[in-house]
């Protein structure tokens, strides 16, 4: 006898087929999971805060200043990557502030500029920190306009500051000579004005991108060579990588690759992207595993990297995470 299949049976077979297809697609997606693992480290000892500034010398990260929604800070701390511990150091000698800039020249740290809305608004004073003696020395004030939200980076010879906000967004760059204790304006940056951008350094090249200007998130991408002091424009981050665009992020380097993490894009975000200069390509990595955040700090010695502090809305944070870019994500280590 000939068998027939009724409509109910056909519907059941159709739904089962869709389910199998969906499971197969899901399994394919699982095989393409992003790589990278975040591991919780020692929580910062003092008050939670954002908009601090940080630099790294050897295996020690140094962090100071900041804002907690009520108060500006001038305390200064070190984080030891090897012992996973924080230590309070001599206070930053300038006015309490947020959104300052920092860099390292030949093993000495420098902090300056920033914002104190209680009494001084934008600032231009600058100080050198000697990690061997745990002491500060005031140096020549920044020669550009007083500002905050700038970027800073250094070499064995000079320090550099650029962009930021002084009542309007900026794109100028300045070089500091520690021997002469002088600032000199440098030229050649052809990008847009901005504040709250990021830089990361790979070898003799400093990469700069992101930031915001007049409410528009910037998408151009530039590299500055520390030897030639020349800027070169690279492919915009919006061409194939829409989700890298942001402001108030952190950036760091691990084993010759650059990373951008967290930040703000209308709201606090937690995504992480890796840049490989050998093929000029970006890859998404495992997102930051605690609160999404903006205005955090990062420490990196070129082989290890940490992201700490920051804020999510009005929630100010005091946590600290280390990133392992080549490990699989493990939720149990947090």
Query: Measured between alpha carbons, how far is 127 from 218 in angstroms, rounded to an integer?
Result: 30
Helix (H) or strand (E) holding 273: strand 268-276
Average pLDDT over residues 74-85: 98
- State residue 238's pLDDT score: 80
Closest C-alpha to 223, from 271, 258, 248: 258
Q: Is the pLDDT confidence value at 241 over 70?
A: no
Residues 6+ apart with CB under 8 A from 47: 68, 73, 316, 318
The least confident of 40-44, 104-108, 119-123, 313-317 is: 119-123
CA dihedral 5, 8, 11, 13 (to 10 degrees): -50
Taking only the tens place, the pLDDT of each residue in 215-231 is 999 999 999 999 999 99
Average pLDDT over residues 175-201: 97
| 3-state secondary structure at position 18 | helix
- State residue 47's pLDDT score: 96
Average pLDDT over residues 70-84: 98
- State residue 18's pLDDT score: 35
Closest C-alpha to 200, from 221, 217, 170, 183: 221
CB atoms within 10 A of CB 82: 9
Contact 181, 141 (CB under 8 A): no
Average pLDDT over residues 82-110: 98
Taking only the tens place, the pLDDT of each residue in 33-44 is 689 999 999 999
pLDDT band at 330 (very low <50, low <70, confident <90, very high): confident
Q: Is the pLDDT confidence value at 48 over 80?
A: yes
Q: Is the pLDDT confidence value at 163 over 80?
A: yes
pLDDT band at 331 (very low <50, low <70, confident <90, very high): confident
What pTM does this model have? 0.89
Q: Give percent of the chain above pLDDT 70.
A: 89
Cα angle 201, 98, 257; round to 5? 15
- State residue 333's pLDDT score: 74
Q: What is the mean pLDDT of the chain?
A: 90
pLDDT band at 119 (very low <50, low <70, confident <90, very high): confident
7-29+40-333 fold: Neuraminidase (2.120.10)
CB atoms within 10 A of CB 97: 30
pLDDT band at 239 (very low <50, low <70, confident <90, very high): low
């Amino acid at each position: 006898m000939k068998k027939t299949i009724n409509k109910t049976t056909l519907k059941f077979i159709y739904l089962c087929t869709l389910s199998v297809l969906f499971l197969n697609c899901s399994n394919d997606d699982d095989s393409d999971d992003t790589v990278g693992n975040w591991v919780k480290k020692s929580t910062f000892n003092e008050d939670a805060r954002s908009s601090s500034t940080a630099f790294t010398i050897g295996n020690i990260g140094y962090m100071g200043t900041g804002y907690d929604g009520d108060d500006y800070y001038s305390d200064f701390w070190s984080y030891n990557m090897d012992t996973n511990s924080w230590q309070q150091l001599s206070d930053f000698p300038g006015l309490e502030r947020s959104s300052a800039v920092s860099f390292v020249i030949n093993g000495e740290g420098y902090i300056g500029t920033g914002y104190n809305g209680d009494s001084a608004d934008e600032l231009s004073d600058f100080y050198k920190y000697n990690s061997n003696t745990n002491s500060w020395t005031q140096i020549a004030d920044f020669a550009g306009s007083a500002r905050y939200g700038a970027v800073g980076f250094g070499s064995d010879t000079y320090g550099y500051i650029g962009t930021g906000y002084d009542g309007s967004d900026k794109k100028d760059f300045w070089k500091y000579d520690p021997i002469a204790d002088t600032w000199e304006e440098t030229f050649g940056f052809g990008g847009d004005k901005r504040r709250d951008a990021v830089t990361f350094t790979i070898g003799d090249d400093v990469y700069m991108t992101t930031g915001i200007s007049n409410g528009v998130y910037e998408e151009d991408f530039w590299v500055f060579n520390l030897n030639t002091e020349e800027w070169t424009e690279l492919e915009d981050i919006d061409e194939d990588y829409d989700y890298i665009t942001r402001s108030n992020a952190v950036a760091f380097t691990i084993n010759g690759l650059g990373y951008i993490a967290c930040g703000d894009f209308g709201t606090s975000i937690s995504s992480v992207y890796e840049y490989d200069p050998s093929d000029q390509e970006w890859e998404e990595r495992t997102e930051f595993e605690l609160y999404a955040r903006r205005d955090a700090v990062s420490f990196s010695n070129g082989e290890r990297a940490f992201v700490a502090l920051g804020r999510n809305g009005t929630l100010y944070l005091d946590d600290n995470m280390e990133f392992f870019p080549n490990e699989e994500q493990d939720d149990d280590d947090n």
